[in-house]
Structure 1
């Protein structure tokens, strides 16, 4: 997309109207709020649904298998963002991608809400994976579209947008978690479907007035000849995959274990390919190539961070269910409620960080410095959670405040890294790959969860301290390395701060 088109988009959006930010932020804030309500509500009970016994309404899967599937689910959700980003950049734009994605997500949650077999569960996974891949990167990319590159409100706007994500994520585990675990899993999934329906209504009825041209431009449209070729390739690819699946499953080659390993490999292989394609593209300028190089260490730091943060819905969810004292101060705590801690702390602290970056202005830490701080706090959050086993042993139930503290510390790191990463991606992205670069950013989460699907096999009560200690220590070491290399990374960013 040309600089002229970018400026036209900014001018078409009312620039005042939502806490001093462009009016379009209202539409994107509440669209993402309801999408995250549906996703995090589903996620709060999904792992329990998988490993709880059939007599308790679950699928009765083995615990480690359920934890690995949960990680792979998350990995595929973010991996599919590459497809969503490509479709938006080349075929129908970000606005339509958001709408189509919301419909698929809603249908996926409806499939989960229908009592049925494990086959229906996998159908819902496919729908939610594809839908989130369309919606998630493109709604974030649209936030970048409504600000000019020199607008000092940009980082603050992403922090407010990030608060909307987490407001939905805070409320949904309390509602969906309570209904799903106390009454019926499928009723909980039904509430998640209703949440996505509300998000679609907000987007449909406010986008024309609030977003102007944002999301309507196609950054790098296919020519008619290219479209014919691409659609042919897509059709052949689907046919090839269908044949492979039909042959490999009866032969025992495609199992849950081998699929988990395959997704883990793809989590790192796909972003590597994309970095090479963008760097070598004739549509990428020399300045953009330099910025791509600067983006690589930030991407790797993000993988390490999300590897820790995303274990809140796998290892720490299991920890809450099996290792935590759930009767506390006369109340019974649902293990799903711990999923609300991360967004609760973000809601509380996001305005503080948004104010801090605005207050510091040009004196705020550079993007790599913020990333190194994020990694530091992520590592500390895992070192904190190993202390209960050190003091009380591996068999005693843990005071829930230890989990609360761990979630609090990782949130500090998240606010240093995640909203800043969204903003940095829109600044560092090559013009011809704008939405796809946002998808690439989310691939760091996909790679992290693909890695986690392997790491969960090493988690046992007897290896608990070693598990948290090694991963937490690795994050702190990488934080120090990133801090030391910040001046070099900054030079490659070519003026982006």
Structure 2
């Protein structure tokens, strides 16, 4: 296909409105996101319980602190290796191929988790494969989504909001995953995850050529063939060496799980800051692009703390759901994993409202940092609200499930605002040489938040819930207020006052 014909095809694809007013390729990415969410939430809904359940109960027998730290550490490391994945997408594979390979590795990872006789080994292999999946892809999928729109297209933020909603349609699965695990065992829930991941992968394979045209095929800033070969060889050697060293240290007790979790989490907080500096100072980035990247930094910091809030629901409050919450309803007992479905249902509702609102408002919507600040303040209210049951009820007293339900309702309302706004802004300010990597750097706020959670767990003790949650919620809300107050300055740094992109 000639260059002119290829350009015409891309223009035609970007002009499509076949999928809810968006190109058909956006539909492919959205449905793949839904299936991946089914897989991801099937695993995460029951993983912490699988880790600390005894072997006789079908679990792996870790203690609750180790289980919490392992879960948080996985999300922290996933974000870090995702940074490498975005480099691979930007400079070696291109986003299309990166997504294709990564989704296959991810599906294989869920398969290993579902093989019961493997036990701890199966868990370890699955986590490695899932991390390799992240290492191959990074944020290439989000970068690919952004490629369906011109820079000034007001549909862009609506597309990210649609993806957020569809992702959470898949996230309704925890209520079923918990029940499946209760009746048929943890491996049955993990088998559902594997089947979902395979379905998402096939959706992409069957439609990408027809719906994407040439979008995302080429790497944005490709390495020369010789440098590419050297990079791949070094990457493989480093991954194998690190895996071997870590396995030796853990198996022989040289370091504990807690020590490793703390070290890995500390790195997850430091590396994103270093990468921001690298991008801003890179010779391939213009002065205007550098200023735009710096404007993303306040959102990054705020999102670190929103993810610290979120991870309370998958660690400390997940254990609280099993040990302290009265889970009886109409004479039936529901599983603690079901609470994560509350956030999924709310996300569909709130996310749909947000998507409709931003699409309707178009250029009249608030500045990105103001929107993000409002959402961050709402996030902060969640942990502060959870201080109430700890203040009102003595330890050991079973409390109403409505307390946890309201926590997830509150934080999901905040997430519906911050999620799409953050990733849309990251795709907008991304320098040309760092299209996928910029979105991944922003996504590292999630891993940094998970890292903060792993570190924060060290300071949590039963009985310290009120000061703990007051601090987590209070500092998050304050950061959100600062974003609102200075939103005008941040938008000027982005260049939105000169060219209002919405």
TM over 0.5: yes
Aligned CA distance change for structure 1 residues 164 and 273 (closer, same or farther; 3 Å):
same
Asked if 1:167 is matched to 2:169, the reply is: yes
| 1:120 matched residue in structure 2 | 122
| 2:209 matched residue in structure 1 | 208
Asked if 1:379 is matched to 2:380, the reply is: yes
With 427-436 and 232-241 compared, the bigger mean Cα shift is at 232-241
Aligned CA distance change for structure 1 residues 7 and 277 (closer, same or farther; 3 Å):
farther
Conservation of the 8 A alpha-carbon contact between 1:9 and 1:145: no
For residues 454 and 237 of structure 2, what CA distance do their matches in structure 1 show? 30
| 1:317 matched residue in structure 2 | 318
| 2:226 matched residue in structure 1 | 225
Conservation of the 8 A alpha-carbon contact between 1:10 and 1:147: no
Conservation of the 8 A alpha-carbon contact between 1:173 and 1:339: yes
Aligned CA distance change for structure 1 residues 476 and 7 (closer, same or farther; 3 Å):
farther
Residue pairs, 1:269-284, within 5 angstroms: 269-284=270-285
With 312-321 and 416-425 compared, the bigger mean Cα shift is at 312-321
How big is the shift at 1:283?
Answer: 1.0
| 2:131 matched residue in structure 1 | 129
For residues 348 and 375 of structure 1, what CA distance do their matches in structure 2 show? 18
Conservation of the 8 A alpha-carbon contact between 1:264 and 1:451: yes
Conservation of the 8 A alpha-carbon contact between 1:13 and 1:211: no
With 124-133 and 470-479 compared, the bigger mean Cα shift is at 124-133
For residues 328 and 346 of structure 2, what CA distance do their matches in structure 1 show? 22
For residues 251 and 106 of structure 1, what CA distance do their matches in structure 2 show? 31
Q: Could you tell me which runs of 5 or more consecutive residues in structure 2 were left unpaired when the two chains were aligned.
A: none
With 175-184 and 436-445 compared, the bigger mean Cα shift is at 175-184
For residues 286 and 15 of structure 1, what CA distance do their matches in structure 2 show? 34
TM-score (norm 1): 0.95
What is the aligned residue count? 494
Aligned CA distance change for structure 1 residues 246 and 426 (closer, same or farther; 3 Å):
closer
For residues 250 and 350 of structure 1, what CA distance do their matches in structure 2 show? 44
For residues 322 and 462 of structure 2, what CA distance do their matches in structure 1 show? 13
For residues 481 and 372 of structure 1, what CA distance do their matches in structure 2 show? 7
Aligned CA distance change for structure 1 residues 399 and 7 (closer, same or farther; 3 Å):
farther
For residues 168 and 307 of structure 1, what CA distance do their matches in structure 2 show? 23
TM-score (norm 2): 0.94
Conservation of the 8 A alpha-carbon contact between 1:13 and 1:210: no
| 2:490 matched residue in structure 1 | 489
How big is the shift at 1:322?
Answer: 1.1
| 1:439 matched residue in structure 2 | 440
Residue pairs, 1:73-222, within 5 angstroms: 73-115=74-116, 116-135=118-137, 137-170=139-172, 172-222=173-223
SS of structure 2 residue aligned to 1:61? coil
| 1:287 matched residue in structure 2 | 288
Aligned CA distance change for structure 1 residues 134 and 242 (closer, same or farther; 3 Å):
closer
For residues 261 and 6 of structure 2, what CA distance do their matches in structure 1 show? 42
For residues 140 and 439 of structure 2, what CA distance do their matches in structure 1 show? 8
Aligned CA distance change for structure 1 residues 242 and 349 (closer, same or farther; 3 Å):
closer
Conservation of the 8 A alpha-carbon contact between 1:88 and 1:435: yes
For residues 314 and 349 of structure 2, what CA distance do their matches in structure 1 show? 20
For residues 289 and 449 of structure 1, what CA distance do their matches in structure 2 show? 27
